[in-house]
Amino acid sequence: MPRIPYLPQDIDEPRELVDDIRSRRRGKLLHLDRMLLHSPAFASGWNSLLRQVRGKLSLSPRLQEMAICAIAVLNGADYEFYHHAPEFLKAGGSEAELDALKKFTGDENELKVFTRGERAVLRLVAEMTLNVQVEDASFAAVKNELPDLQQLNELIGVIASYNMVSRYLVALQIEPEKD
């Protein structure tokens, strides 16, 4: 059970914000949205940020979803993993890679199924998630794999953003939707 009750699925105020969230979500509100709407200002900022992160970046969707799934596992955010595992598969991830991510503890050596470059990204994910501080060697390895500074910046932003998401989900005990 969530620590704060979800607002009702049929909430319609504030109208413009709720309509905007529904349009991003293909007509429905997720548990996360119904929690965020307890604070319309917070929900509005969240919706704006995540709309950009989810749909406007030049970063590879596969790398983005791989990072999000790893963050979800490291932070125990089942909701986040539930929603992003299918997106990782759609972006070209394999079931074997997804199985490896489910067991990720922060050691990129656990992830032999991934390329050297992907393991470097996962090391960055682990350091940013578990330690906050990033080792120079870890940063250099990712920069070598992503020399495009826009994509490197976006990767760091995705990791930071989804750490925010997972911490919110876990603190409030938001549950995955049951289809």
99-113 pLDDT per residue, tens: 999 999 887 667 889
In terms of C-beta density within 10 A (0-12 exposed, 13-18 middle, 19 or more buried), how is residue 133 classed? exposed
Per-residue pLDDT of 25-79, as tens digits, reads 888 999 999 999 999 999 999 999 999 999 899 999 999 999 999 999 999 999 9
The span from the CA of 69 to the CA of 158, in Å, is 11
What's the confidence (pLDDT) of residue 56? 94
What average pLDDT does the segment 3-30 reach? 94
Domain boundaries, the chain: 15-55, 61-172
- The answer for residues whose C-beta is within 8 angstroms of residue 69's C-beta and 6 or more apart is 81, 84, 85, 88, 98, 101
Number of H helices, E strands in the chain: 9, 0
Q: What is the CATH number of domain 61-172?
A: 1.20.1290.10
pTM (two decimals): 0.95
